[in-house]
Amino acid sequence: MSDLFLTPVFLVILMSLVFDFTNGFHDTANVVAASLATKALKPRFAILLAVTMNFLGALVFNKIAQTIASSIVNPQLLQNNTRIIIPVLFTAIAWNLITWFFGLPSSSAHALVGALTGAVIATIGPAAINYKDITVILKSLFFSPLIAFLTGFFLMIFCRVILFYLKPKEVNKYFFWFQRFSVIGQAFAHGANDAQKTMGIIVLALVAEGYQQTLQTPWEVRIVVAVVLALGTATGGWKIINTVSKKITRIEPASGFIADFSSALVISGATFLGLPVSTTHITSMSIAGTGTSKGFTAVNWYTVLKLILVWSTTLPVTVFLGAITTKLIFFIF
C-alpha cells in the first residue's frame, strides 16, 4: 500500500478520521450523561472510563463495517471514483459540528448514510443504490429509538414494582453504585457500533480502489479508528451532555442505571445483527422512557420534540446536502 498516500483514498481516510473524531466528542453525552446527572461519577473519571471502553468496543466487531461498505452501494461501482466519498464525509462532519454547536443530540449514522446515499444518486444515479439493503438500515435507524424508549419505560416500571418495599433513598443508594458499572456497558456498546461506521467507509474506499478484495476491516484500520474515536470522546461534547442529562427529565440513580442498561442492550443487539443505529437517539429516548414511567409530566416534551425533529430531518437533509455538495465539488474540481 506504499502508493496509497498518492491517491484520493488517502484523503478519504484522513477525512474519515476527522468524522470519527467529531463522532467521538459529539456522542460522549450518550455514555456519561446519566452518571453525571446523578453525580455517580466525576466528570474527568466518567470521560476517562468512556474513552477506555469506547476504544475496546471499537476493536471487537466487524459486521457493521461490512454493512456500511456494501449495503448502500456496491463498492465496484465506485471503482476508480472514490472521490465521491469526500463530499460525503464533508457533509457528515459539517452536520456533526452544526448540531454540536446548537447542543442538539443528532445521529452521525443518519448523517453518514444520508450523505452517501445523496452523493451516489447525484453522481452514479438512483439505480446504484441497494434499496433492499438500505431499507433494512433505515428500519433499524427508525425503530431502535422507539425500542429504547419502550425498554426504558417498562424496565423502570418493573424495577419500581419489585423494589416497592424499599424507600426511595435506599433504592437510589444501591443504584448510585450500579450506575458506575452501567457506564462501562454503555461506553463499550457505543464504541462497538459507532466506530464501525467509520471503518466501513474506509473499507469501502479500499475495496473500490482494489487495495483489498474482502470486506474485512484490517487491524491497522481498527486500531487507528479506535484511537481517534477515543480521542474525540476525551474532548467531551459538553453542550450535548447538558441537553441529555438535564433537559429531558430529572435523572435519579435508578432511572440513570435503567437508561444506561436499556441503551446498552438495544445498541448491543443492533451491533450483533450488524445494524448501524443512532446511539445518540437511543440514549436520549431511553432516558425519556424512564422519565415517562414516572408520569407524562415528568418529561420535558419540548426538548423531546426537538430531538424527534432532528431525528426525523437528519436523513432527508443530509441526502440533499450530500447530493448538492458532491455536485458543487465536482463542478469546481
Structure-block grid coordinates of residue 8: 484520493
Partner residues linked to 73 by β-bridges: 129
Q: Torsions phi, psi of 249, nearest 5? A: -160, 165
Report CA 175 to chain centroid distance, whole Å: 26
Q: What is the pLDDT of residues 109-142, one digit of tens each?
A: 889 999 999 999 999 999 889 988 889 988 998 8
Collapsing DSSP to helix, strand or coil, 273 comes out as helix
Number of residues that this document lists for the chain: 333
Structure-block grid coordinates of residue 187: 461506553
pLDDT of residue 307: 84
pLDDT of residue 183: 86
Domain boundaries, given as residue ranges, for the chain:
2-332
Does residue 227 contact residue 55 with C-beta atoms inside 8 Å? yes
Q: Which amino acid is at 26?
A: H
pLDDT of residue 306: 86
Q: What is the chain's Cα-based Rg?
A: 20
pLDDT of residue 316: 92
Q: Torsions phi, psi of 230, nearest 5? A: -65, -40
In whole angstroms, how far apart are CA 168 and each of 151, 173, 175, 253?
Answer: 22, 8, 11, 10
Note the pTM of the prediction, 2 decimals. 0.89
Those residues of the chain that have pLDDT short of 70 are 1-6, 28-29, 236-239, 333
Full DSSP string of 53-83: HHHHHHTT--HHHHHHHHSSB-GGGGTT-GG
Gap between the Cα atoms of 12 and 93, Å rounded = 13
Gap between the Cα atoms of 313 and 98, Å rounded = 14
pLDDT of residue 238: 67
Does residue 200 contact residue 68 with C-beta atoms inside 8 Å? yes
Residues ≥6 apart with Cβ < 8 Å to 252: 38, 172, 175
Instruction: Annotate 35-50 with three-state secondary structure.
Output: HHHCCCCCHHHHHHHH
The residue whose grid cell reads 426511595 is: 168
